[in-house]
Amino acid sequence: MRPLTEEETQTLFKKLADYTGPSLKNLIAPLDSSPNADRYVFRLSGQGRVYYVLLSLANIATSISRDKLLSLGVCIGKFTKSGKFRLHITALPVIAPHARHKIWIRPNGVMPFLYGSNIVKAHVGRFSEDCPEHQGIIVYSMDDVPLGFGVTARSTSESRRLDPTGIVCFRQADCGEYLRDEDTLFSTG
């Protein structure tokens, strides 16, 4: 595993900022105010996967050869061959506490979302105010359990005027992927 290049870091931070906004800096801030405080860093594996890991642990892992080290920390996502970054569902516990925009779906909409469907207006329970169109958003159940993330199809004000079958949020990733994609989610190839 190696540190990200400047270009990779910009691509990653741009994607994460879509979901977290200004609280992105909290992801990499030192854990306390002591002079030798530990902090989280991003590391890239040979397969293009980006991991979110404590710096002290990443430094210890340098003693393991790159071809032998399969995983370290939390997998945030993967760089595509075209250089774009795609978030994985494994990033949800990292970005959900820092989310800028949120959408809560009713119990009747949870299962369709977890099976890979987009969110329609009839399934929306609540919505963050002033959320623009094409903005990264974290999807919660009405019990405040993070279920996944997506991109808004319309702004909050436009979504209120939609008919019940109108798409409010395009699904990007959901917790159902742990079962649907279990063969490829953590593969090394």
**What are the structure tokens assigned to 85, written together?**
């970054």
Q: Has residue 185 been placed in a domain?
A: no
- The last residue of one of the domains, among 44, 74, 94, is 94
The burial class, CB within 10 Å (0-12 / 13-18 / 19+), for 20 is buried
CB 44 within 8 A of CB 53: no
Q: Tell me: the pLDDT tens digits for 74-97?
A: 999 999 999 899 999 999 999 999
Same structural domain, 24 and 77: yes
Name residue 104's beta-bridge partners. 126, 140
Q: Specify the CATH number for the domain of residue 52.
A: 3.10.450.220
Same structural domain, 22 and 67: yes
Same structural domain, 87 and 148: no
Same structural domain, 63 and 29: yes
Q: Has residue 30 been placed in a domain?
A: yes
Question: Does 68 or 5 have the greater pLDDT score?
Answer: 5
CB 137 within 8 A of CB 149: yes
Q: Has residue 189 been placed in a domain?
A: no
Provide the total of helices (H) and of strands (E) in the chain, helices listed first.
Answer: 7, 11
Q: What is the pLDDT of residue 66?
A: 77
Same structural domain, 76 and 105: no
Domain that holds residue 168: 101-179
Q: Specify the CATH number for the domain of residue 152.
A: 2.30.130.10
Asked whether the predicted pLDDT for residue 177 surpasses 70, the reply is yes
Rounded alpha-carbon distances, angstroms, from residue 80 to 13, 49, 70: 15, 9, 18
The pLDDT-based confidence of 168 (bands split at 50, 70, 90) is very high
In this structure, the strands spanning 167-174 and 146-152 are antiparallel
- What does pTM read for this prediction? 0.85
Q: Has residue 89 been placed in a domain?
A: yes
